[in-house]
Structure formats: structure tokens, C-alpha cells
Amino acid sequence: MSHPTGGQAVSIARFTLKTEFAAKGAEFEALFPAYVAAAKAAEGTLRAGLASSTASSGRYLQLTWWRDSEARQAMMSDPAFFRNVGIKYFTLARHDKVNGDSIAGGLPDVPYAVVALTELPATEENPVQALHGLDGFLADQLVQPDEEDVRYLLTWWRDEDAFRAALATAPAALDGAESFAFLADEVSG
């Protein structure tokens, strides 16, 4: 199984169910297979994952990796993709999305259950060294957004208990981190 590593394009989309659709989490989650089908049909899509917040119901993280930013742009600007997939997401949830490039690290080659997302000022050193060697820490990836003065650190964990233990052991390295439990993880192609 091939995993994206540094240099590839990454999209980080955070969704929060709209108040009137707060009970429609299962319906929102059921949209992911259509997203994966569209991703598999697009040239250059490598992987997509959907995870739900471990702290807040109705909050989701969708991660997608592409060969390069041109492949990402081609899929996202396709009117058929928006009409058949995107509009359904936006009906149920508010979202914010960051597009960027992986500048360090990559997905683990072992099973994982949790990903944590930490926003870092662009000038701050990558704090991930403090996490290496902690029980349950699997991998990290640093993403530099296209048009923002921040970076995003993704860290993968064996399970939520390992992430919580890391919060207690190295709180500065995970300051402001939000954890998400994986619901689906698909490799394209």
C-alpha cells in the first residue's frame, strides 16, 4: 500500500453539522462513499479519509491527498463533482477548508485510529520531536497552506487513549490540538 509523503497536495476540510441538521450525522457520514467514488475517478487522487471529532458530536474532518495541486484543482473545480457530491455536504454542514502542500512527514504504514490536527503559527518550530517515542504515536505530517500564515500539523495515533496520554506528557507539542476518530480511510487507484 502506497502512502502519501512530503510534497503532495493535501486538503484539510473541517465540517460542523448545521443546527437544524444536528441529528443527521449518519446521513452526513453516508456521503463519504460518493466522495471516494469521485476521488477514485479523478486523475491524481491518492487517498481520502473521514473522521469524527472525539470531543464534539456533529464535527468532522475530511482529509484528501493528491499527487499535486493541479490534480486537486481539477477535481474540486469539476462542476459535476460539486453538483453530485459537494452540494450535499454543504447542505448539511458548515465547513472551512485549507489547501496546501505537505512539507514534511507522511501517513503511517501501520493501522491507526485517531488523527489530531494542530494549528501552528508559520514562524513556530515544528513541535513533533517531543512526540516521537511516545507510546501510540505513529506518524506526523506538516502541511503548509497555499494562502495562510499558519501551518497544520497532523499526528496519527494508535487510539484515543494514546493521544490523551500524549496531551498529558507533551502538552506544548499538542497545544490546541483537536482529535478525530477515523470512520473511513480509502486508497485510490
For the chain, domain boundaries: 9-187
Number of neighbouring beta carbons within 10 Å of residue 87: 10
Q: How far apart are CA 14 and CA 25, in angstroms?
A: 14
pLDDT values of the chain reduced to their tens digit, one per residue, 189 residues: 334 445 689 999 999 999 999 999 999 999 999 998 888 888 888 889 999 999 999 999 999 999 998 988 888 888 888 888 889 999 999 999 889 999 888 877 778 899 999 998 887 788 888 999 999 999 999 999 987 788 999 999 999 999 999 999 999 889 999 999 999 887 665
Domain 9-187: CATH class, spelled out: alpha beta
**Helix ranges, 7-159 (H):** 25-29, 32-41, 69-76, 79-81, 87-92
pTM beyond cutoff 0.85: yes
34 burial via Cβ count (<10 Å: 0-12, 13-18, 19+): middle
Q: How far apart are CA 35 and CA 30, in angstroms?
A: 10
